Chains A and B, each alone.
Chain A
Amino acid sequence: MLLALQQAQDAAAHALTGTAAEWLWVVPLLPLAGFVINGALSLFSATDLGPADPSAAHADAPSAHDSGTAHATGGAHGDDAHPVVRHRYAGITSFVGSAVLILSFLLSAVIFWQYKSIEGTVHAPYVQTYFSWLPAGDLQIDAALMIDQLSLVMLLVVTGVGALIHLFSVGYMREDPGYPRYFAYLNLFVFFMLVLVLGANYPVMFVGWEGVGLCSYLLIGFWFSEKANADAGKKAFIVNRIGDFGFLVAMFLMFANLGTLDFLQLQAATPDLVAGGALVTAICLFLFLGCAGKSAQIPLYVWLPDAMAGPTPVSALIHAATMVTAGVYLIARSHFLFALAPVASLTVVVIGALTAVFAATIGLKQWDIKKVLAYSTVSQLGYMFVGVGSGAYSAGIFHLVTHAFFKALLFLGSGSVIFAMHRAYHATHSHADAQDMRNMGGLGRYMPVTFTLMWIATLAISGVPPFSGFFSKDEILAGVFARARESLLADTRWLGIPGNFVLYGCYVLGLAAALMTAIYMTRMMLYTFHGPNRTGETERGHLAEAPWIMTGPLVVLGILSAFGGWLNLPALLPLGPIGLLEHWLDPVVGESALRLTHGHAPELTHSLEYALVGTAVAISAIGIWIAWSRLKPSALVPAAQAKPEEGFERVLAHKYYVDEMYDRAIVQPTYSTSRNLLWRGIDIGLIDGLMVNGSAWFSRGVGWIGSAIQSGQLGTYAWVLVLGVLAVVGAVTLR
């Protein structure tokens, strides 16, 4: 089939030439233009007040912040005590920032429609090459963008969810003095993410990969005047770098052995690779190292919870819907490699499953609402990797899409909550933590729309039918189960363990994670929206729904979370068109998926399928019931008065002390080596002392010798002369 694709590509101009797809380059360029404009606006207004951290916990800054001038709290609060003071260029920035995203989305939709209209005919991916970027000897890398079914899905998700989040940010960041800078960075991020998903070869994708890492750093540390935020940004960037190293090594291996880095050329070169061989396994493992960094899997997930220091829309966009899914996209894009390396695929599955469970356990005991969602993201990413690792590529991508919907909704919803809490605390000048769930409670009464939408998202993520999460999660679990029964993976040994054991074990881990997901999400809803309100007497009067600029995108996401499952209904429930997404992605990943399942689609008997579905639903229900019955929101006290945890709860609350372990094992030795060996030893001792000062000392010494020789003493000259004669005569004599 690949040969046919190649022939179709070579034979005639692509069916998409001359259509709107010609304007593909506009899609990433629009956000880039937004970045330039907003960045210029930000530079022109750089003398305005600097950024500050919005969380009420840091509001006990010097009184300058309380003077009533625009002090950034991360949200507009048109209090009667305090009018909304917006940035000078807020109007243009809001318009430009959102418009470029909406236009990008519309253009992507048009291109998608064009592509869909020619569906059915065998056609190769549509590649637009702009210029020869890196011609270096044997290596020929072009700046090229590619459209195929997979990148179109990602394109729509990125631009669509991105547009919604930009609209939300218009309201959320209203009073921030760094308003244009925020939109500039956000637009830049979308540009890089689009380069990542549209890239036609690994280097272009890597440009996007690095770029989103950069923007993540910039946006996490958006309120960098607080050291904790800047540190979180640095942590994200550095941990990502470790993953980038893996990506690079994989690229080097690919080039050294296959001579090309272009997706289509590599796919054509797969017959040259030894299936299951060391080379392709190494390439895939290094690629997965990159994914572990970018998509926060064990052991490189530690940056994601800290990344919650950034503004909440950033957390929604970058750390839920798009950037962290880049790793999943990478594996789906490299399907032809992973299909040849069952050991690597099994590794992906195992680490994904372990991460899912590990993060879910931590999420059970977090009190900051954003941290709960962060660990939930890590856990759900684990699910996606279980999907793409086991060869169910379309299932993994399906969960990616639905997760983008409901996780963005959850984050934006929590943003509305935090916004309301801030407004309340600001009015009373309280310094309590606006993000701590122990300070919330009963918000359902004050924010009904947000309340409803958050419940929709919670049910979706817990896998309750008929919401979207149920379909995607169930498909992954069913896929793993089916492949555990019969597939190439089941036949492979992973570290000596038979593959089917591994896959069954991962299935069980997946169920456990689903259970815990239901528990902690219900816990979050209980503590936030149900029960008595713990915010305080006076603050209560200020709790209200967020403005419609923020609630509107929430509604859209709510609809998508509720009905998104329609994208890929299983054959089991013929309520509508079956398997849309799977059929859509089949031309791209179908061949590799079949390679892993011995050439035919994995079959499960209907009864077995019903049993699996029933198990999944039952698990979700049990989880919700456990949380509902055993957790008492009325037993909570506000954060300031809460007791510290004890025992295993404390271990969970401190995230298994992983950060402390990394600090002891890696960070401190690096500091100490840098300080003692590299700085004192090499820099001061060797370079400054020996080379710089040493060469000066040497010159002085040579000069001293010279001056000693030029003593003006005839006696010395006579000596030298005689010694010279001695030497010459001696040479003659000895000859």
Chain B
Amino acid sequence: MLAESLFFSAVLFVIGVVGVLTRRNAIIIFMCVELMLNAVNLAFVAFAQVYGVAGQVFVFFVMTVAAAEAAVGLAIIIALFRHKPTVNLQQINLLKG
């Protein structure tokens, strides 16, 4: 099961990457990042089956961090939205150098 799990994990991860590269909507990009995290979680769980429960513990932490990150990130998006009523990342370029 390890190899198949890793296969799925890799595919999901790559889908997440492609999504990040392709989409412009900030929320969609954020959700792609969440997808990547989930793919990684799957890999950890798969390894945990072979190498011990530490993998599952790590998944626990990943989820926690993902939650925290989601909260803060969405707060940022809301704050941005108040500034400029768009979530199109191409229009959010105040850091343009």
Contact = CB atoms under 8 A, between A and B. Distances in A.
A–B contact with Cβ pairs below 8 Å: the answer is: yes
B95 A715 contact: no
B1 interface: no
Residue from B24, B90, B92 with most neighbouring chain A CB atoms (10 Å)? B90
Interface stretch (A302-310, A490-498, A703-711): A703-711
A575 interface: no
A648 interface: no
B96 A715 contact: no
A137 interface: no
Interface residues of B, number: 14
Nearest to B94: A712
Nearest to A717: B95
Contacts of B20: 718, 722
Nearest to B93: A712
A81 interface: no
B90 A713 contact: yes
Interface in B18-36: 20-21, 24, 26, 29
B23 to A, nearest CB: 9
B70 interface: no
B89 A711 contact: no
A714 interface: yes
Interface string A640-660: 000000000000000000000
A718 B17 CA distance: 9
B97 A712 contact: yes
Contacts of A709: 97
A710 B17 contact: no
Nearest to A726: B17
Contacts of B24: 715
Contacts of A722: 17, 20-21
A131 interface: no
Interface string A718-732: 110010000000000
Contacts of B21: 715, 718-719, 722
Interface in B24-59: 24, 26, 29
Given A722-B17, A722-B21, A710 B95 contact: yes
A722 B94 CA distance: 22
A712 B17 contact: no
Contact of A712 (B26, B29, B95): B95
A715 B24 CA distance: 7
Interface residues of A, number: 12
B95 to A, nearest CB: 4
A722 B29 CA distance: 14
State the main secondary structure of chain A at its contact with B: helix
A697 to B, nearest CB: 20
Contacts of A719: 21
A715 B97 contact: no
Interface string A223-267: 000000000000000000000000000000000000000000000
Nearest to B33: A718
Nearest to A725: B17
Residue from A706, A713, A722 with most neighbouring chain B CB atoms (10 Å)? A713
B19 to A, nearest CB: 10
A707 B97 contact: yes
A706 B20 CA distance: 23
Given A722-B17, A722-B21, A706 B97 contact: yes
A368 B13 CA distance: 101
Interface in A93-113: none
A714 B96 contact: no
Contacts of A713: 89-90, 93, 96
Contacts of A706: 97
Contacts of B92: 712, 714
Contacts of B26: 714
A715 B89 CA distance: 7
A710 B96 contact: yes
Interface in B65-88: none
Nearest to B88: A715
A691 B97 CA distance: 28
B17 A715 contact: no
A224 to B, nearest CB: 60
Contacts of A710: 95-97
Nearest to A711: B96
Contacts of B96: 710-713
Contacts of A718: 20-21, 29
A709 B21 CA distance: 16
B31 to A, nearest CB: 14
A362 B94 CA distance: 87
Please give me the 9 A-B residue pairs with the lowest Cβ-Cβ distance, nearest first. Answer: A710-B97, A712-B96, A712-B93, A712-B95, A714-B89, A718-B20, A713-B93, A715-B89, A707-B97
Interface of A: 706-707, 709-715, 718-719, 722
Interface of B: 17, 20-21, 24, 26, 29, 89-90, 92-97
14 contacts: A706-B97, A707-B97, A709-B97, A711-B96, A712-B93, A713-B89, A713-B93, A714-B29, A714-B89, A714-B92, A715-B89, A718-B21, A719-B21, A722-B21
